[in-house]
Chains A and B, each alone.
Chain A
Amino acid sequence: MPYSNTVIDPNPMLVAENLTKSFTSGQLSTRVLDDLSVEIGAGALTLISGPSGCGKSTLLSILSGLQAPDHGRVLALSESLQAMDAKRVEAFRLHHTGFVFQGFNLFPALTAREQVQLPLQYMRLSAQEITRRADEALAEMGMAHRQHLRPAALSGGEKQRVAIARALAKAPALLFADEPTSALDAANGQIVIDLLHRIARNHGTTVLCVSHDPRLISHADRVLTMEDGRILDDSDRGAR
């Protein structure tokens, strides 16, 4: 069993308490999250899977502070996101969270290295620190030799590795990934999920990944299966 020696931090990095979220379109109101509670620990890759429309992306967006729930609260690194105003949530995200999306969302004008450096510039780091972190993150993602290329010259897998390096260079405690492999072929999807898992283990990062890709399940430390806004099944594979 791979990664069976992973120890999940007993202090959860991310706690969701009684989250409820509904979307209204016209007169129809759909409940996307239904009184959902979950705790997620550090140093592990937690996968949320389930059919499309089950509410997994909404859960990720609320846990990462991109959206607010209708009811309930989120404790991220022991801080309540609901107690913060929009500016403080932004500052929290700047210092503690990384994101990887399905579309790689790289600026066409920037080289791989510049893509990684750009968010670091807003963290008030010294120029040397920015360069050091960017180079390390790119090297860790195996992209050091491609760092002077723009997105147009990179393959899909390479672009996603640059996007992960961009998130990783911030040294976040929380790393969120939304369908990170669904735009990639099998081999590249494999590489990307391995890299995410390695980040969780080597950096002690809380990696929360949303995917409907069944190939990822075998790589996750813990799998939360969702349906109709609730968690149906919680299998803690790493603890076994």
Chain B
Amino acid sequence: MMVSLARKTLLHEWRRFLPAMLAVSFATLLQLLQAALVLGIFGGAAVYVSDSNADLWVGYPGTQSVDQGRPIDGDIASLLEMNPQIESVEPFYLLDGDWRGGHGTGGVSVFVSGVSTRPGAMMFARVLTPALRARLAYPESVIVDPADLNKLGVQVGDTASVNGHLVRVVGTARGLRALGGADIVTSLQTARMLDPAPSDSGGPTYLVARLRHPAAASSVVADINGHSGFGRYQAWTAPAFARLSVLFWLFNTGAGAGVLFLAVIVFVVGAIITSQALMAAVAASVNEYATLNALGVGKRSLRWVVLEQAFWVGACGVVLASVLAALLIWLAHSNNVPVAMQPSVAAACLGLVMALVAVSGLMAMRSMQRADPATLLR
């Protein structure tokens, strides 16, 4: 059985390492929650893409974010239908609206989504049940997010007006919350009726398509973008378009810079606290380390002890914080706070914290230089 000086010291003198572990935990928690909030809030920019199960999006060329779409020529649908890879095509109308509810809420700007009411339609397939979608077939019916009811000043069954036209709230669906407004979902026909300035073409904002082999999405996109003569359009795969929208909002609102700034602050403060605690641990045992060096244990091996301690401090802190973060994110989610997490983002946060720990360990390693056995002889 090997004696691990790093782990034995960590367990025996845990009070000495506790501040470092809490600093690592706190840094991890902060990074994870910040990422969850950012993903949750700015994921709202891509809600149309992420709540639907289309593989392909076709819209106005150069569109930077889903909500910035402009009408395209409806004939492009024929081009898509001709492609043997494409199984089905569906139009999607997205337009701005001015909502007037009851109860003195004044005007609320809303995004009106006009979607197909056919069973098995792609748009909002992840949030609309077939029964709910069927209710939209009645003219003037709309569906909203339950969290937006207060803002819109209505209950299910109430009427309101959008751009001066009467609508009726026939149900609610969770997951429609938009960035900086409210999403309301209606049928294609009702959406066209609510459009205050129908463009001359009267075309949809997007055409979405389902592929026979979703894995081939990138090559189909390249294929479609290679055609010309069907008017102006651009195609994206659904994940690419969602990412485009999130990044557009993240960096156009300055939130992206804020996120990076906070990440750097957390990194620096965490590294300082952690390295100080590790250095204090070395300083407390400097004579013992010097004795080991006198006995011939190399400085390099002694520095590894510090790095191993840093690793364990980091691992304990990260595990503690991950449990807390999962709990808090779940709590936020069940209270309608927009939060979301992806494995890749969580891994990036934890990787950043372990990098912080490694930097602290490297900084603390230098204090092993003071473990000079000659100082033990006076």
Contacts and interface: CB of A to CB of B under 8 A. Distances in A.
Contact of B1 (A99, A127, A167): A127
B378 A119 contact: no
Interface in A101-124: 101, 103, 105-110, 114, 117-119, 121-122
Interface string A86-103: 010011111101110101
Nearest to A94: B296
B13 A109 contact: yes
B371 to A, nearest CB: 11
Interface size grouping (class) on chain A: 35 or more
A101 B377 CA distance: 8
Nearest to A97: B296
Given A67-B374, A110-B8, A105 B291 contact: yes
Question: Which of B2, B294, B373 has its CB near the most chain A CB atoms (within 10 A)?
Answer: B294
B13 A87 contact: no
Contacts of B374: 61, 66-67
A197 interface: no
B280 to A, nearest CB: 14
B5 A107 contact: yes
A222 interface: no
B9 A107 contact: yes
B376 A122 contact: no
A118 B5 contact: yes
B150 interface: no
A60 interface: yes
Contacts, number: 91
Interface string A109-146: 11000100111011000010000000000000000000
Given A99-B291, A117-B3, A127-B1, A107 B296 contact: no
Nearest to B297: A122
A92 B296 contact: yes
A178 interface: yes
A109 B376 contact: no
Contacts of A106: 288
A166 interface: yes
Interface residues of B, number: 28
B295 A121 contact: no
B13 to A, nearest CB: 6
Contact of A110 (B3, B296, B297, B373): B3
A166 B292 CA distance: 10
A61 B3 CA distance: 29
A39 B288 CA distance: 30
B295 A105 contact: no
Contact of B295 (A61, A110, A167, A178): A167
Nearest to A134: B3
A137 to B, nearest CB: 13
Interface in B326-357: none
A110 B291 CA distance: 15
Contacts of B8: 107, 109-110, 114
B163 interface: no
A147 interface: no
A69 B365 CA distance: 28
B377 to A, nearest CB: 4
Contacts of B299: 90
A170 interface: yes
B377 A93 contact: no
Given A67-B374, A117-B3, A109 B296 contact: no
A49 interface: no
A168 B290 CA distance: 18
A109 B9 contact: yes
Interface string B1-25: 1110100110111000000000000
A57 B12 CA distance: 34
B370 to A, nearest CB: 14
Given A119-B297, A122-B301, A170-B295, A105 B376 contact: yes
B333 to A, nearest CB: 43
B292 A119 contact: yes
Contacts of A61: 374, 377
Interface string A69-91: 00000000000000000010011
Contacts of A150: 12
B350 to A, nearest CB: 28
A106 B287 CA distance: 9
A66 B377 contact: yes
A110 B298 contact: no
Contacts of A119: 292, 295-297
Given A105-B291, A119-B296, A178 B301 contact: no
A66 B373 CA distance: 7
12 contacts: A57-B378, A90-B298, A94-B296, A94-B297, A107-B5, A107-B288, A108-B12, A108-B13, A119-B295, A121-B2, A127-B2, A178-B376
Interface of A: 57-58, 60-61, 64, 66-67, 87, 90-95, 97-99, 101, 103, 105-110, 114, 117-119, 121-122, 127, 150, 166-167, 170, 178, 210
